[in-house]
Structure 1
Amino acid sequence: MPYVRHNLITFDPEKRDAMMSVLNTGLDRVNEIPGLRAVRVHFDTAQGADNRLVITGFYDDKQAAEAARERVKADLSTLSE
């Protein structure tokens, strides 16, 4: 059964350009993650926020998402630095 996982990342708005560079590099590598079918990236601008990003991953199933968890966690952790 298809599985979706949402990740909310908070970043320093003064480092937005650097974060976007890291994000683009990471998105170029998502096809290397087994079972990951698609990724959507949205800036969360609710209530005037300019420092939040929502990344949604669409997986073949929950097992694929769990298998990718540590890699995705490591990749996403660099966005908030």
Structure 2
Amino acid sequence: MRRYSGHSMRRGQVRHLQRLGVPRHIIETHCRYVPGSKALARYLDDALPWQDNPTLAMRRRAAARPGWALQGV
């Protein structure tokens, strides 16, 4: 089992705010980081936002086909 630390909650808050679209300077202020913090940069998520995921169009096309269903879900 993985061990969690106080930084797990701190990182979770930062990533949640980022995914909501909160600008970095607001995250820095709210979470008490200095402007341009390298520590904050390590917590930020570089992942592509879900709405920009290129595989969504493939899933929509597949779902539009008759008889298509998610298996095992």
Q: Name the TM tier (shorter chain).
A: under 0.3
Rg larger in structure = 2
**Structure that is richer in strand per residue:** 1
Q: Which has the higher contact order (CA 8 A, sep 6+)?
A: 1
TM-score normalized by structure 2? 0.25
